[in-house]
């Protein structure tokens, strides 16, 4: 029997050495030490031996068992260690390698209108102006009434309006935010309000039903048209990065008195005349004026104590001038080839 046990031990050790994974080791453990395993059979046989033989057999059977168990444990440990041994090979990664270029997903960017809006905001903030926001769905009072445009006034025809069924409207200009700003803050007051406006009109190369404006307002004691011109000149110099010549012509808007059209010398031809300025050398850029006393009064400000200026500027026009864009409809086209140029 001793030879059988020793032969079994050799066989087991060889099998353990040849095992390639944990599952194989577990199968061997069951084969040798399981309920119906080979060692159980040895112990049963041992029971039939004489007492001296039994003691001797106990020793060599146990020795064989220990040897096999130790081999199983050692092999198991070796597997565990080898799992991580080549980790640096299996999971090696060159963190300095350049990334793969995404060809189908370009990088996002800001819309040119947003870019110019942010620029305008920065310029005005540097002059101490606040940036005010107002709702795109307005009421009659803020869009028209408070701005000295009464219900039967022909000026309402100038702005064909999207009326909502609840009596409200889509604001036709950002001047509505003037009214909100003056109600919310006492003078001295300096603010601009950029945003989206709507007109109920047919679109063509120079007309859109949705576009962007920035409204400006300054109210304090002794504010005059001189202050207006100075602020406009700073704005234009910063936007176009050069000194821009301006001129004022009279213009009518119910909420300013006097009202003006501010023209700039054509940046394309330098004032000599070209198709962009229709050979006049001047381009109409922004309407403005001194805030009408009625507007101040409508907003709870005493016009005998305070005065102010206001202006409205089309952001689309500004972007078009800067980049020589010939059709306002590009802005809302969603055309990536257009947008990716900015």
Q: Is 253 in the site for ligand DAH (CB under 6 A)?
A: yes
Question: Which residues 6+ apart lie within 8 Å of 105 measured at CB?
Answer: none
Q: Is 215 in the site for ligand DAH (CB under 6 A)?
A: yes
Q: Is the Cβ of residue 64 or residue 256 nearer to ligand DAH in the bound state?
A: 256
Among 171, 173, 180, 330, contact with ligand DAH (rule: CB under 6 A): 173
d(CA 245, CA 266): 9
Q: Is 311 in the site for ligand DAH (CB under 6 A)?
A: yes
Q: Is 292 in the site for ligand DAH (CB under 6 A)?
A: no
Q: Is 331 in the site for ligand DAH (CB under 6 A)?
A: no
Contact indicator for 284, 307 with CB cutoff of 8 Å: no
Q: How far is the CB of 153 from ligand DAH (least distance, A)?
A: 14
Question: Which stretch in 56-64, 85-93, 103-111, 283-291 sits in contact with ligand DAH by CB under 6 A?
Answer: 283-291
Q: Is 312 in the site for ligand DAH (CB under 6 A)?
A: yes
Q: Is 308 in the site for ligand DAH (CB under 6 A)?
A: no
Q: Is the Cβ of residue 12 or residue 310 nearer to ligand DAH in the bound state?
A: 310
Q: Is the Cβ of residue 28 or residue 134 nearer to ligand DAH in the bound state?
A: 134
Per DSSP, 146 falls in state: G
Q: Specify burial of residue 144 (Cβ count, 10 A radius: 0-12, 13-18, 19+).
A: buried
Strand partners, 62: none
Q: Is 289 in the site for ligand DAH (CB under 6 A)?
A: yes
Which runs of consecutive H residues, i.e. helices, occur in the chain? 2-18, 22-33, 38-46, 51-85, 87-90, 112-126, 140-143, 175-184, 225-240, 293-298, 315-323, 336-339
Among 288, 319, 321, 328, contact with ligand DAH (rule: CB under 6 A): 288
Closest CA to 310 of 232, 256, 266: 256
Q: Which two tokens stand for residue 41?
A: 């059979």
Closest CA to 187 of 145, 226, 141, 222: 222
Question: Which stretch in 21-29, 132-140, 223-231, 308-316 sits in contact with ligand DAH by CB under 6 A?
Answer: 308-316
Question: Which residues 6+ apart lie within 8 Å of 67 measured at CB?
Answer: 9, 13
Q: Give the alpha-carbon dihedral of 320, 326, 327, 328, to 10 degrees.
A: 10
d(CA 46, CA 248): 121
Q: Is the Cβ of residue 42 or residue 282 nearer to ligand DAH in the bound state?
A: 282
Q: Is 310 in the site for ligand DAH (CB under 6 A)?
A: yes
Q: Is 191 in the site for ligand DAH (CB under 6 A)?
A: no
Q: How many residues bind ligand DAH (CB under 6 A)?
A: 11
Among 287, 306, 315, 318, contact with ligand DAH (rule: CB under 6 A): 287
Footprint of ligand DAH on this chain (CB under 6 A)? 173, 175, 215, 253, 256, 287-289, 310-312
């Amino acid at each position: 029997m001793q030879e059988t046990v020793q032969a079994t031990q050799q066989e087991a050790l060889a099998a353990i050495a040849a095992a390639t994974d944990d599952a194989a080791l577990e199968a061997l453990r069951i084969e040798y030490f399981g309920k119906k395993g080979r060692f159980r059979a040895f112990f049963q046989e041992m029971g039939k031996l004489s007492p001296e033989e039994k003691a001797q057999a106990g020793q060599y059977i146990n020795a064989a068992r220990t040897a096999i168990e130790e081999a199983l444990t050692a092999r198991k440990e070796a597997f565990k260690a080898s799992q991580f041994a080549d980790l640096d090979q299996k999971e090696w990664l060159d963190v300095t390698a350049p990334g793969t270029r995404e060809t189908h997903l370009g990088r996002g960017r800001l819309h040119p209108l947003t870019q110019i809006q942010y620029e305008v905001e920065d310029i005005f903030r540097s002059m101490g102006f606040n940036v005010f926001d107002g709702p795109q769905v307005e009421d009659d009072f803020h869009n028209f009434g408070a701005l000295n445009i009464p219900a039967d006034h022909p000026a309402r025809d100038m702005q064909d309006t999207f009326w909502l069924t609840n009596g409200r409207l889509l604001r036709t200009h950002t001047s509505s935010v003037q009214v909100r700003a003056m109600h919310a803050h006492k003078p001295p007051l300096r603010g601009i309000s950029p945003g989206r406006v709507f007109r109920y009109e047919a679109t063509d190369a120079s007309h859109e039903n949705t576009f962007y404006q920035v409204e400006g307002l300054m109210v304090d004691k002794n504010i005059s048209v001189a202050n207006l011109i100075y602020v406009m000149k700073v704005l234009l110099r910063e936007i176009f990065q050069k000194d821009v010549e301006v001129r004022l012509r009279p213009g009518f808007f119910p909420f300013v008195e006097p009202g003006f059209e501010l023209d700039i010398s054509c940046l394309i031809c330098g004032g000599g005349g070209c198709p962009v300025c229709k050979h006049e050398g001047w381009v109409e850029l922004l309407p403005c004026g001194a805030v009408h006393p009625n507007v101040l009064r409508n907003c709870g400000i005493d016009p005998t104590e305070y005065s102010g200026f206001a202006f409205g500027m089309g952001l689309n026009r500004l972007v078009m001038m800067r980049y020589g864009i010939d059709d306002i409809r590009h802005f809302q086209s969603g055309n990536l080839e257009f947008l990716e140029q900015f």
